[in-house]
Amino acid sequence: MNPVIDLLKSHRSIRKFTARALSPEQIDAIVTSAQAASTSSNVQAYSIIAVTEPDIKSEVARLAGSLAYVEQSGLFLVFCADLHRIRTATEQQGEMFHQNAESFIVATVDAALAAQNAAIAAESMGLGVCYIGSIRNEIEHVSRLLKLPELVYPVFGLTIGVPDQEPSFRPRLPKQAVVHQNAYQPDRIEAGIEAYDEVMHEYYKVRTNGKTLTNWSSGIADKYRKPVRGHMRSFLEAQGFRLD
């Protein structure tokens, strides 16, 4: 259709990189693109930590689950939701800073939008990316390691590098299960899941040479049959965020 849409449709996460480092121009283009993303009321409530020091990168890779693709990436960026800077600006104006669940959402969404712009910019240069939400497994350690102040939390990392693999496209849910006309249509959900399970069953079978015979909903059920990262709320409150 056009090169941007072709690029978006060709996305797949990359989990193996060559040893080639990114050039300063590439890094600058990625970060500038991240900053160009839309941001709620121009608050820009996020910060990006570029983890370049090998010891720190290794430690983050370990905390994220001993991920080689974090350690070996050409660039590892941690996107943080950040209310610290806007509290500073508010207080410098002599005003009281108020925050709540709304400001938490604003900061988290801002961080995600900036990250996705960074991801697309990287992919447009032929680089591969993978988001790393598993830094939240050890969010307290990661925050301490990166010296995050109060009102800043790491939403996820983004590994970026020269791809050393060509994974196949991971199919998405059928549109009728995701896109609704004018109002939510719950009656489409079950059929959508069923159709997608069939597609994903085949995808896993092919991708693992017949070893994995699962589907999408059994993977989802496996993940959601117990609470995921139940430490998040207490961590966020200790970090100064108010979720009321």
Ligand X SMILES: Cc1cc2nc3c(=O)[nH]c(=O)nc-3n(C[C@H](O)[C@H](O)[C@H](O)COP(=O)(O)O)c2cc1C
Judged by the rule CB under 6 A, the positions of this chain that interact with ligand X are 11-13, 15, 130-134, 156, 170
Residue nearest ligand X, Cβ-based: 133
Q: Min. distance of Cβ 122 from ligand X in angstroms? A: 13
For ligand X, the closer CB: 4 or 68: 68
C-beta atoms surrounding 14 within 10 Å: 23
Question: Please, are residues 74 and 144 in contact by the beta-carbon 8 Å criterion?
Answer: no
Question: Whole-angstrom distance between the N-terminal and C-terminal Cα of the chain?
Answer: 45
Encode 205-229 in three state secondary structure.
HHHCCCCCCCCHHHHHHHHHCCCCC
For ligand X, the closer CB: 13 or 214: 13
**Is 170 in a helix, a strand, or coil?**
coil
CA torsion 7-9-11-12 (nearest 10°) is: -150
For ligand X, the closer CB: 98 or 172: 172
Q: Min. distance of Cβ 25 from ligand X in angstroms? A: 26
For ligand X, the closer CB: 170 or 233: 170
For ligand X, the closer CB: 82 or 87: 82
